[in-house]
Amino acid sequence: MEIPTFESFPNYLGSASVSSVDRGVYSVAEREAQIRREEQEKREAEERRRQAEEERMKRIAEEEERARLEAEENRKRLQNMFKPRNLMKRLHEDAQAEKVFPTYGSKLPDVDFGISENTPEQPTQVRNDEEKPVQFQSPYEAPKPRIAPGNDIPVSQRHNPFASRGGAVAFTAPQPTMVETPKTVIEPEPGVQSTSVFKEAAAQAELDEQLVMRKRQAEFEKRHLEEMQELERQRREAEEAARKAEEELAAAKAEMQRQQEEAKAEAARLEAEKEAAIKAEAARLEAEKAEEEEGISDADMAENDAKSRKGPDIDMVSGVAGLKSAAGGNPYLIDKQKFVYNFPPEDILKHYPISATVYEDPENDPNGQIIVETLAQFRIGTSLIGVQHGPTFTLYELSLAPGIKVTAVLNLAENLAMQLSVEDVRILAPIPGKVAIGVEVPNKKRDVIGFDVMMPALKGKFYKIPMVLGKTITGDSIVIDLAKTPHLLVAGTTGSGKSVCINGLICSVLYTKTPKEVRMILVDPKMVELSLYNGIPHLLTPVITDAKKALKAMNFVVEEMERRMALFSSVGAKKIEEYNEKITNKGLLRVKLPYIMVIIDEFADLMLAVGKELETSIKRITAVARFCGIHLVLATQRPSADVITGVIKSNIPTQIAFAVSNSMNSRIIIDQVGAEKLLGRGDMLYNNPEARQPSRIQGAYIDSEIEEIVDFVKTQGEPDYIDESYFEDDDDEEEEDVESAQTDAAEDKFMRAWKIVSDRGEASGSFLQRKMGIGYNTAANLIEQLEEAGYVGPARGSKPREILKYYGTE
């Protein structure tokens, strides 16, 4: 359930208790962020442990494979060493080193064993001292020894290559396998075999090899045990960290729950305080109204004695002059509104989901790579340094290689649009405040910014006349104060979002301001966009659709502006805020002046109909009305130079440009190109005089909810319109004057006007208009006639004329 924030409560409740709950909510958010960071660190530690385990198992497998290969090599080497022919060759090499057999004391004959790399095992031939060939066969296949006839050389006297040398080599019988001489062939006796003199050495070598293998195995097992112990230690540490994290998470959740309960309790307490304050305010207003009603009768009695005084300085107790509620010229404003104005509920507003695809790593964004590669084809080296995803478009931030001119990128917008398969791109060269250029690329699927997501920003701050715009590419909600702009120009083609923007402005006021705070005059020549607002209590007139009535409404605004300036002068104030503050602090029986917002849709149509007169009134309003709390909004589909003249534009420094047809129209609105590249459907450029460059914003969308909002607002009070006499045609009014003279022949129109101003104690054309039901021109003529007759004094600027002679004194 959403925790209510203190920004949603009225300002008069104060902000002393706001910080405590805010700190609680913020601390919960910080704790959640810390828990997420710890979980991320835990996952990273687990991943590092898994990678370390894989590396360790890989090293173990490599060690085992290396040990196996070494063992296999040693086995083959030993097998090759103890082959018979290799053994005999080694014995001969050892004996050859001494050249003498110790047993016989004779020199060792040269022996050729006939062993080479490619020679198969064959019986070795040996020559004796007499160079007679001697052949040996393998001792393991020795045949029965025999002596050939005629051989007179004993076997024991022949040279024996296997004789003992210092006891290191010994054979059981010094008999070769086969000996051939030219005369005698000797063969070994049956069952007699030669024994290898290296049997003990071979056994010892095998033992040594086994010892080495065992030693390596022991070292391997020791390392493996140490690694397993290290892994076990890391596992225990990870489990301990996970346990602590779980405990902290549980504690954080408990703390969060506690803070939420405290916030709910605080919200309930504030709600109770709010209800109590509302009841107290209602009781105070009731008491004030009773006092006002008593004051009305007193004021009527005082006005009947107008001959003995000059009357009040000016109608200073009315919020707006000329209202119907000022019945019979009563200077007090009769409050027809509810004492407690309830704002529309937020659940009326629709919610639109967000569906944009966001890449966490800019390098993974395919459009960014396409931009870099396309610029590289034109020998413009760039690197992608950032990506900002917005609801309508995505901004790609690029850094240029040294030596590349910024202007070189501006001419490649069409090439980039073609490679990206989009209608158009907008290039920022450079991005304001950054050492980079930007390329704004439309999103394939655009998100809708609903009016509901703007409500926290709308109600989170005090605005005199709030206006919701939308969100920037960074997700910031933009809400401006029309009282600070102080006037606004809105332009864009059909379907660009201009009308939705105007509806957003009106709904922003309906959601935050009462009729006592802001009043409106709506002009809609098309008769389709603003007509549904008829009947809301904020209106000063029904929605105006006629050009002549629109001009008269502007004349009324000028008169109201002059009246307010006179009010400010009477209390020594310079602007509306100072005036309202002074009459409140001094406890004067006056109503605070509401702000007046004048919205003219399709301003171009009015300029074609009434032209110069309308421009004159607008020039006066835009020049002075900001100090009087009167603010103007002009909207048009045709931003041409003959509509938005230099005089009008010079007094309206704030502009909103939606999509236009060409760059010339863009220059007329915001003094630079760019609006012709906007995407429509709420895509706007907001030009604020305090900023160097216009801000690109996706406008908040509101459409079908407007009817429900208007229906709810109508239940909060009835509209108090300006008297219709302000909008009557002069020709019709003159005819009515003639009819009045015929029905009342005894009373001249001039004398009647003199009586009215005498009873009033002051003379003004607007008062005669209301009392006599005549037009502006007729009332002005009567005032001039009274001045020529010496009944009223000369004009005193914005103040009413002084009565020189009262009616009936002649």
Choose among 538, 523, 496: nearest CA to 721.
538
Residue 808 within a domain: no
Q: Are 736 and 283 contacting, i.e. CB atoms less than 8 angstroms apart?
A: no
Say if residue 123 is preceded by a cis peptide, omega within 30 of 0: no
Distances (CA, A) of 272 to 18, 269, 277, 586: 15, 5, 8, 31
Q: How far apart are CA 782 and CA 789, in angstroms?
A: 11
Q: What is the pLDDT of residues 769-810, one digit of tens each?
A: 777 777 777 788 888 888 888 888 888 766 788 888 887 676
Contact residues for 243 (Cβ-Cβ < 8 A; gap 6+):
none
Q: What's the pLDDT at 684? A: 93
Q: How far apart are CA 268 and CA 798, in angstroms?
A: 51
CA atoms within 13 A on the CB side of 229: 6
Burial-class residue 247 by CB neighbours within 10 Å (0-12, 13-18, 19+).
exposed
Q: What's the pLDDT at 79? A: 72
pLDDT-derived band at 720 (thresholds 50, 70, 90) equals: confident
**Residue with token string 């401006």:** 480
Residue 274 within a domain: yes
Residue 719 within a domain: no
> 692: how many CB neighbours lie within 10 A of its CB?
8
Q: What's the pLDDT at 17? A: 43
Token representation of residue 198: 């290296």
Grouping H, G, I as helix, E, B as strand and the rest as coil, residue 480 is strand
Q: What is the pLDDT of residues 590-617, one digit of tens each?
A: 678 899 999 999 888 888 888 778 888 8
Residue 774 within a domain: yes
Q: Quick one: what percent of the chain has pLDDT higher than 90?
A: 17
Checking if the pLDDT of 451 tops 90, the result is yes
Show which of 267, 286, 304 is a domain's final residue.
304
Residue 807 within a domain: no
Q: What's the pLDDT at 126? A: 43
Distances (CA, A) of 332 to 321, 563, 590: 10, 16, 8
Q: What's the pLDDT at 533? A: 94
Q: How far apart are CA 114 and CA 134, in angstroms?
A: 13
Q: Are 352 and 450 contacting, i.e. CB atoms less than 8 angstroms apart?
A: yes
Mean pLDDT of the chain: 75
pTM score above 0.95: no
Average pLDDT over residues 517-527: 91
**464 and 383: one domain?**
no
Residue 670 within a domain: yes
CA dihedral 564, 566, 568, 572 (to 10 degrees): 180
Average pLDDT over residues 499-503: 93
Checking if the pLDDT of 289 tops 80, the result is no
Grouping H, G, I as helix, E, B as strand and the rest as coil, residue 15 is coil
pLDDT-derived band at 285 (thresholds 50, 70, 90) equals: low
Q: What is the pLDDT of residues 390-409, one digit of tens each?
A: 888 899 999 988 888 888 88
**525 and 567: one domain?**
yes
**427 and 529: one domain?**
no
Average pLDDT over residues 316-337: 48
Helix segments in 576-636, DSSP class H: 576-585, 603-610, 612-624
**614 and 489: one domain?**
yes
Q: In what order do the strands lie in the sheet with 393-400?
A: 382-389, 393-400, 437-442, 426-428
In single-letter form, the type of residue at position 221 comes to E
pLDDT-derived band at 541 (thresholds 50, 70, 90) equals: very high
Distances (CA, A) of 389 to 76, 141, 365, 475: 69, 91, 11, 9
Q: How far apart are CA 608 and CA 612, in angstroms?
A: 9
Residue 450 carries which DSSP code? B
Checking if the pLDDT of 560 tops 50, the result is yes
Q: What's the pLDDT at 200? A: 67
Show which of 691, 714, 737 is a domain's final residue.
714
Task: For 86-108, give one letter per residue: b (16+ CB within 10 A) or e.
Answer: ebbbebbeebeeeeebeeeeeeb
What CATH number corresponds to the domain at position 501? 3.40.50.300
Range of weakest confidence among 174-188, 215-229, 571-585: 174-188
277 vs 234 pLDDT, higher one: 234
Helix segments in 317-398, DSSP class H: 366-377
Q: What is the pLDDT of residues 22-75, one digit of tens each?
A: 554 456 778 888 888 888 998 998 899 899 888 888 888 888 888 888 888 888
Helix (H) or strand (E) holding 477, with range, is strand 477-481
84 vs 133 pLDDT, higher one: 84
pLDDT-derived band at 339 (thresholds 50, 70, 90) equals: low
**630 and 757: one domain?**
no
**Highest mean pLDDT (candidates 410-414, 622-626, 655-659):** 655-659
Residue ranges making up the domain that contains 382: 362-442
Residue 573 within a domain: yes
**211 and 258: one domain?**
yes
Q: How far apart are CA 683 and CA 390, in angstroms?
A: 11
Average pLDDT over residues 349-376: 80
Choose among 629, 686, 601: nearest CA to 483.
629
**167 and 189: one domain?**
yes
Checking if the pLDDT of 92 tops 70, the result is no
Choose among 635, 629, 634, 620: nearest CA to 518.
629
Q: What's the pLDDT at 519? A: 94
In single-letter form, the type of residue at position 334 comes to I
What CATH number corresponds to the domain at position 415? 3.30.980.40
Q: What's the pLDDT at 787? A: 85
**684 and 740: one domain?**
no
Checking if the pLDDT of 313 tops 70, the result is no
Q: What is the pLDDT of residues 692-712, one digit of tens each?
A: 789 999 999 998 899 999 999
Q: In what order do the strands lie in the sheet with 595-600?
A: 477-481, 466-471, 695-699, 683-687, 654-657, 488-491, 630-636, 595-600, 518-523
**632 and 741: one domain?**
no
What single string gives the DSSP state of each residue in 649-688?
HHT--EEEE---SSHHHHHHHHSSS-GGG--STTEEEEE-
Angle at 525 between CA 524 and CA 529, to 5 degrees: 45
**Residue with token string 């009324």:** 556
What single string gives the DSSP state of each residue in 384-432?
EEEEEE-SSEEEEEEEEPTT--THHHHTTHHHHHHHHTSS--EEESS-T
Residue 259 within a domain: yes
Checking if the pLDDT of 171 tops 60, the result is no
**152 and 171: one domain?**
yes
Q: What's the pLDDT at 256? A: 80
Task: For 216-243, give one letter per residue: b (16+ CB within 10 A) or e.
Answer: eeeeeeeeeeebeeeeeebeeeeeeeee
Task: For 763-773, give one letter per residue: b (16+ CB within 10 A) or e.
Answer: bbbbbbbbbbb
Checking if the pLDDT of 511 tops 60, the result is yes
Choose among 693, 255, 272: nearest CA to 472.
693
**642 and 587: one domain?**
yes
Distances (CA, A) of 534 to 501, 521, 524, 544: 19, 11, 11, 10
Q: How far apart are CA 558 and CA 521, in angstroms?
A: 13
Q: What's the pLDDT at 26? A: 52
Q: Are 136 and 177 contacting, i.e. CB atoms less than 8 angstroms apart?
A: yes
**501 and 648: one domain?**
yes
Checking if the pLDDT of 104 tops 70, the result is no
Token representation of residue 301: 């009695």
Q: How many domains does the chain have?
A: 5
Choose among 291, 317, 320: nearest CA to 516.
320
Residue 106 carries which DSSP code? -
Show which of 194, 217, 237 is a domain's final residue.
194
Average pLDDT over residues 274-278: 76
Choose among 668, 672, 589, 677: nearest CA to 636.
668
